[in-house]
Amino acid sequence: MPSQTIKVTGVPEELVRLLDKRVKQRHAAGRSEYIRELIRKDVLGEPHTFREILAPVHAATADLKESEEELITFFDEVRDEVCRSKQRGNRK
């Protein structure tokens, strides 16, 4: 498949610096390969890592005062309630 060149203008230096930092953390192949992967994931809807999927949850719970154990208990209780609710719905 023939490839195309895409030129992006107006990218602030700080963003380029952060991009290069991310490339070094994740890809030895370089900036171009990393950007191609980002485009491919976004356009083709390729699956994300668990870290990417759970990032909003981690961000939302980072500032909470509850301990990890309390959060686990909370989610277990909610899951159990949903299961009970579904079971009640199946009995109708």
pLDDT at residue 22 is higher than 70: yes
Structural domain containing residue 32? 7-47
**What confidence tier does 92 reach under pLDDT thresholds 50, 70, 90?**
low
Within a domain: residue 20? yes
Selected residue with higher pLDDT from 89 and 21: 21
Spell out the alpha helix ranges (H) of the chain. 13-26, 31-44, 50-62, 68-91
pTM of the model: 0.48
Within a domain: residue 30? yes
Within a domain: residue 83? no
